[in-house]
Every structure is written in C-alpha cells, then in structure tokens.
Amino acid sequence: MIINKTNNTKTLTKVGIVGGGVAGSTIALRLAEIGVDVVLFEEGASLVNGPPICHLHAGGNLYREISDQQCLDLLKQSIDTLRVFPHTANIRPTVIAVPTRDNGEPDALLPRLELLQQTYQNLVESDENNKVLGEPSDYFKLYDQATLTKLAAKALPTTPATLDDWMIPVAKNLNLDEFKYPIVLVQEYGLSVFRIAATASLALSKLNTCQVLTGAKVNHLEQNDSTQQWDIHFQQFNTELQDWVTGCEQVDYLINACGYRTGTIDNMAQLPRERMVEFKAAYVTHWKNSQGIWPEVIFHGERGTPNGMAQLTPYPDGYFQLHGMTEDITLFSKGLVHSTATNAQPELSAPFIKKLTQAWQENEVTLRSTRAIHHMSQFVPEFSTATVGGLPLFGAQQIPGQDATLRAADISFDGMNYARTEIVKASSALSAANAVVEKLQSLGLITTSVSGSLEADFPVTLSLTLSQVEHFAEQLAEQRNYPSALARQVAF
C-alpha cells in the first residue's frame, strides 16, 4: 500500500520489475524511495551483474559517430546520476588522443566540446547542484605537443590537483610524435559497476517498499483483460529445501528490465520490439611498473578494424581495464545479432551463451587479454610489461531499433501497463526511472507526489556513506572473482 507523504491518501498500486541490472535496480530505487510498492525479480545471485561498465559518458566524447543530441542527453543524464549516486563515480578526467594513423582530426571534436561546455555552464547556472563535473570552465582543456613535452619533464604528482597534473603520466608515457594535436582532456569520469551494485543492494535492503527476489527466473506472464493487471509466474531456488519453488506475483504495472534478454519478456507479453544485442568484453590487466595516478585514456580508431579504438581505464594498485574495439579483443565475430519478425529476442550463438551463463575458457582469457595489452602498448610502450589481472568483464548490450551507433536511450512504453527499459549506457538508467514515475502518475496509478529535487527523492540512497558502499562493493568483487581494487576509489 502506498501512503502519500503529502496528504496521506492511499493507493493499491504494485509495480513488478523483471531484471535487477542497473536499469531495473535504479527504477526499483526510484519508486521505492517515494513509497511505491515494488517487487524486483533478478535471476542472478546479486544485483547489477552485467556488461563491463567503467565510464560515465558525461558528454559522449568517446564516440565520434553519435549525434550532438545524444551527447547532450548523456551529459544531462550523467549529471543526474552523479547527484543521486555520488559514491559510484571514479573522479578523474578522460584524455582523448587521435593517432597520426587515424583518418579523423581532433579539431572535429571542438564544436561539440564547446557546445557541451556551454550546456554544462547553463545547467550549473540553473541549479548549483548540477556542478558535479568540476568548474564548467574546466570541462575540457586542449594540449599541443610543446605543452605536453614540458609536462613530460615534470615530476609525477603524488596527488593530482590540476588538469595539468593529470596529464603528466600521459605525457611521460606516450610517443608524442605519433599523435595529432590537440590532445583533449575532458571531465568524463569513471563509473564503478561494483559500487553501483553495492549502492542498489544496500539502499533497497533498507526500503520496506521493495521486495527483492534474487535467484528468481520469470517463466510466464498473463494479463487480465479487464483490470490490466499482470500475473508474473516465476521459479526461485530455495536454499533451505535445495530445490526450485514456484510463485506468482500480481502487479498493476510491469517493467521489463532484462537487459540483453529483454526480448524474452517481450515474447511472453506478446509485445514485440525490434532490437539488437551485442556481446562485448573488457580485460582486467595488472601493470606492476605503472607510475603516477592516471586519467582514463582513449585512443581513437576505426571500430572493427585492427586499428580500433583503445581504452585504458585505471584502478588502484596498478590494475587497468582495457577495451580494444577490434574483433580480436572487445568485439567478436558474429557478436552482434538482430531480432526477427517472429522473435523479439536476438539469438546469440552457443559459445556466447556459455560465456554469459557458465565460464570462459582459460586459454581464451589469456589470449584476448594479451591481445588487449599488445593493442594498448602501441600507444603506451611501457604497458607491454602488463600481465593478465583477472577474469574479463563481459556481457551483452541491448541496442533498441536498427542503429548500432545508438548510445543514448532509456525506455519505451507499449500495450497496457507495460514498459521496457532500453538503456545502452548506465548513465541513462535514472532517465528511464524518471520516465516511469511520470507514466504512472499520468495513468493515475500512483498519487505519490515527488519533490522535483533529485536529492530529496532519494533520502535512503543518499544516506549511504562511501565507506559502506566501498566495503560492500569489495565483497561483491571478490564474490565475482575480480580483484577488490576494481571496487575502490583512488585514494588521494
């Protein structure tokens, strides 16, 4: 039962969310925090265990091919994400470099960067709480070769205090003759999948308005034609009985947040949607000889070719997550699949399903991680001494529609009392959650008022301390067989 905090009126609306990834967990938090009764189904053992999230995308500058509007959407979504989930961010800038071998020109990024900077300035002027990416004047900075040469001669700072400080390890380790100029530093922060999972788990455990069912597989849906309510049939493994038990929950509104398996729920609901699914992986490496505190570094390249983009994401204790946008590293041959006229769920082949549900072959982990190290060492020669640091971070990414370059998407509504999340980037999850609140209000299914202030609408989530979140995130990392360093912030 929902009690309106303003006038104490009551409604009986109950929302069911299938899928406890970043989208499903964020929507559950959004609704439960304002008093809406939620039941969240997650097939896995814990929440937010999916694709290799590592970048906030506060402006989308990693992607040259996407529209300015997508970049603006990602900027606003990222700012909202940092306001609500401050402990999930890795506060460090991103460096974007264009190799001389690449066909692109760094000057092509400048109009977009200026647009994003002005938009950020406007957002801060309209609401001081939006200043979560530093000063708008520092949103980006350009570096020519002469400036970087001077920075390379400086000592590594113990604690980066300026934009130039962040550039020193980059300047010292790149062959500066192999790049086009300017090189860009931009305030696109990192994002920790483990601290997202920890934040969602800890906050939801404190909210009696949300029932979280882990290990629960939804296997059938029925909708009542007269009431429009949904019956969600599921199986859940009972650890005490060491057996599967069946259950059914009746809800007034159903949200399909199944990520790459969204099509399976669409099929059950008989509400098909055209989409793609792409399997990707990033690789955990350890660079014992690394020096200094690094920013993230992106080396632009043509996707899917041997010269595909390379992404270096730093963590504490010398751990680095690597992407290489080639089919030998992050991308996979036949790893992008499409839905069909008769099946809303794009079908990945058996080897991908085995990776997603069971395990990788050890030799493939070593092979692809080694390739990623080699790909990165083209730009950072000393990185050739890095070694395999753990299991790959991997998953399948849903992309709605037919545009494989789409990066900013949130949710679509279909049929009666049904929605499907369609986020491509984690920073879009809160946008999807806000859209759900607006939809439920427009249908009269909830009368709970919202304050209009993000901070006021997430009191439980924002009551969590960094220490609480980080401690639980480290436990999750270890449970998932990853180095605990991937769950920690860099200590300045």
**104 alpha carbon, distance to own chain's centre:** 27
The H or E element that residue 445 is part of is none
Report the phi/psi class of residue 242: left, alpha or beta, with left for phi > 0 and alpha for psi in -120 to 50. left
Count of beta carbons in the 10 Å neighbourhood of residue 347: 14
To which H or E segment does residue 446 belong?
A: none
CA–CA dist 362, 373 (Å, integer): 17
Residue 335's nearest CA partner among 344, 325, 348 is 348
What gap in Å lies between CA 247 and CA 260, rounded to an integer? 24
C-alpha 371/C-alpha 183 separation (Å) is: 25
Phi-psi region of 472 (alpha: psi -120 to 50; beta: other; left: phi over 0): alpha
- Tell me what pLDDT residue 5 has: 37
The residues, any chain, with a CB within 8 Å of residue 393's CB and separated by 6 or more, are 51, 52, 54, 193, 281, 282, 283, 284, 321, 482
Residue linked to tokens 């049939």:
233
* Neighbour-count burial of 24, counting CB atoms closer than 10 A to its CB (0-12 exposed, 13-18 middle, 19+ buried): buried
At 62 the pLDDT is: 85
Task: List beta partners, residue 299.
Answer: 97, 310
Burial of 128 (0-12, 13-18, 19+ CB in 10 A): exposed
For residues 102, 332, 258, 205, the Cα torsion angle rounded to the nearest 10 degrees is -80
For 238, which DSSP code?
A: E
Cα–Cα dist 155/84, whole Å: 37
- Give me the long-range contacts of 167-170 (CB less than 8 A, separation at least 24): 167/95, 167/143, 167/295, 168/292, 169/291, 169/292, 169/293, 169/294, 169/295, 170/95, 170/294, 170/295, 170/297
Q: How far is CA 44 from CA 258, 363, 398, 484, in A?
A: 11, 26, 18, 20
Closest among 381, 289, 281 to 321, alpha carbons compared: 281
Taking each continuous run of H as one helix and of E as one strand, the counts in the chain are 11, 23
pTM: 0.94
Length of the chain: 492
Q: Specify the DSSP element, H or E, that contains 252.
A: none
Instruction: Yes or no: say if 251 and 14 are a contact pair by the CB < 8 Å rule.
Output: yes
Integer Cα distance of 267 and 34 in angstroms = 31
Outline where DSSP puts E strands in 210-351. 210-214, 216-223, 230-238, 243-251, 253-256, 275-286, 296-299, 310-314, 319-324, 336-338
Which amino acid belongs to residue 127? D
Distance CA 255, CA 27 (A): 9
Q: In sequence order, what are the residues at sequence separation of 6 or more whose Cβ sits closer than 8 angstroms to the Cβ of residue 429?
A: 22, 23, 25, 26, 27, 81, 410, 421, 423
DSSP line for 358-408: T---HHHHHHHHHHHHHHHHTTSGGGGG-EE-SSPEEEEEEEESS-TT---
Q: Which DSSP letter does residue 364 get?
A: H
Q: How far apart are CA 279 and CA 46, in angstroms?
A: 21
DSSP character string of 259-272: GGGHHHHHHHHT--
- pLDDT of amino acid 51: 83
pLDDT value for 492: 64
Residue with tokens 């369609």: 422
pLDDT in tens, the chain (492 residues): 333 333 333 446 999 999 999 999 999 999 999 999 999 999 999 999 988 899 999 999 889 889 999 999 999 999 999 999 999 999 999 999 999 999 999 999 999 999 999 999 999 999 999 999 999 999 999 999 999 999 999 999 999 999 999 999 999 999 999 999 999 999 999 999 999 999 999 999 999 999 999 999 999 999 999 999 999 999 998 888 888 899 999 999 999 999 999 999 999 999 999 999 999 999 999 999 999 999 999 999 999 999 999 999 999 999 999 999 999 999 999 999 999 999 999 999 999 999 999 999 999 999 999 999 999 999 999 999 999 999 999 999 999 999 888 888 889 999 999 999 999 999 999 999 999 999 999 999 998 777 778 899 999 999 999 999 999 999 999 999 999 999 999 876
- Residue 60 forms beta bridges with which residues? none
Q: Tell me the pLDDT tens digit for each residue of 15-73.
A: 999 999 999 999 999 999 999 999 999 999 999 998 889 999 999 988 988 999 999 99
Phi, psi of 326 (to 5 degrees): -125, 160
The radius of gyration of the chain's CA atoms, rounded to the nearest angstrom, is: 23
